[in-house]
Amino acid sequence: MKMMFMAMAAVVMTIGFAACSSNDDNDTQLIYQKGIFAMKASGTDAARVVGEVSDLYSNALGKPSEAFTLSGSQSDNESNIRSACKSAEAKIPNIDFGNCKGSFTYSVKCINNNKIVYTFTYTIPE
């Protein structure tokens, strides 16, 4: 149970706030939040697995922080985010899950308009 609590604590994300337009036609500053937003996992390897999954997405997006800012049109930003996330998603089965069992959901959300840009749920094979 202690490991489960530690794994859940590892996925607590910070929330960024911004006061800027999310008009899709204009170049603007948009704030996004990324991370594991839902997790039903157990096992002593759960915290390590969460870290490895987060690293895959951070590397693909080129953004190490949970909250990050992009400039440009919302549609271009979100297309680039989805493409990068699909690249990371393809690498998830290569992770050594050890004794970790369960599932997790990784998401990227635009804070400006509370829109989910990308979401993916992965069930760890038994």
Pick from 61, 56, 76: nearest CA to 108: 61
pLDDT tens digits for 74-115?
999 999 999 999 999 999 999 999 999 999 999 999 999 999
E strand residue ranges, 43-100: 67-72
Report whether 60 contacts 87 (CB < 8 A). Answer: yes
Distance CA 8, CA 100 (A): 13
Q: Can you give the pTM of this predicted structure? A: 0.77
pLDDT, position 85: 98
Can you spell out the DSSP letters for 6-19?
HHHHHT--------
pLDDT, position 3: 42
Residue 118: band (very low, low, confident or very high) from pLDDT cuts 50, 70, 90 = very high
Return the domain boundaries, the chain. Answer: 2-124
pLDDT, position 78: 96
pLDDT at 21 over 90: no
pLDDT tens digits for 62-77?
999 999 999 999 999 9
Residue 34: band (very low, low, confident or very high) from pLDDT cuts 50, 70, 90 = very high
Structure tokens at 61: 């997006």
